[in-house]
A and B are shown apart, each in its own frame.
Chain A
């Protein structure tokens, strides 16, 4: 299931800034633990951002994205009461979806 995705939308006139924090280890598969065992790669591969159920951003990520990454995007014409939905899926098949209503 993963930790909740934190989504913030700030309307600044016509343009809205959307900040998304995806809590995920983003393990590269190159690090070793204390016993010298390689830690398996564990990272978000795909994410999407939808506006009122219509997709508007479709992302693909690699292991080189930071741990617990924060993203920021911009969109035009978002209004109070609109819904923003974020989905991610990692390389192990784990998924998470969260939604906010823009206020």
Chain B
């Protein structure tokens, strides 16, 4: 079973099909981490593929997602953004930088005493739109956008 699961997960798209099973306890991830690294979504080379792999169809734009970021980042190697959600039952926050070579930067899931808030330091390759996506416990998806101008790209850093 274990080897089979490894093989299935390496099979790429199969992992997406199996991932709903993880929550049901039919497939329990190993180690201390609750979720397997979402290889399909993180490896996607453009924003549309990344959004598709992350499973964010029917997204509603929301003013209840706050993004605090510099308008101009002089050095793309370290750009701090602060994100939070006032949407009820927020389960996770994901950050995408549309023009980065791999746009999906982070996914964070919150439970127990943790509030849906994070300050994260990104590398930005060039001036880009950054989007924060919220998924709720009842499976809804919301998004907010922010443009960040980058003077010096962070890919060589």
- Give chain A's interface residues, CB within 8 Å of chain B: 15, 26, 28, 30-31, 45-46, 48-49, 51, 54-67, 69-78, 87, 89, 97
Q: How many chain B residues touch the partner (CB < 8 A)? A: 41
On whether the beta carbons of B114 and A59 are closer than 8 Å, the reply is no
A49-B105 contact in complex given A71-B119, A87-B33, C-beta closer than 8 Å: no
Closest beta carbon of chain A to B157's beta carbon, Å: 7
Cα–Cα distance between A48 and B97 once the two chains are bound (Å): 23
On whether the beta carbons of A78 and B113 are closer than 8 Å, the reply is yes
Residue in contact with A60 in the complex, picked from B42, B77, B97, B119, CB distance below 8 Å = B42
Closest beta carbon of chain A to B50's beta carbon, Å: 10
- Give chain B's interface residues, CB within 8 Å of chain A: 31-35, 37-38, 42, 77-80, 82, 97, 100-102, 104-115, 117-124, 154-157
Residue in contact with B108 in the complex, picked from A15, A58, A63, CB distance below 8 Å = A58
Q: Which residues of A contact B114 (CB under 8 A)?
A: 49, 51, 56-57, 73-75
- Given contact pairs A55-B34, A60-B38, A74-B115, a sample of 15 additional A-B residue pairs in the complex whose CB atoms are under 8 Å apart: A30-B155, A31-B155, A46-B33, A56-B113, A57-B114, A59-B106, A60-B107, A61-B106, A63-B123, A65-B123, A66-B77, A69-B121, A72-B118, A72-B119, A74-B117
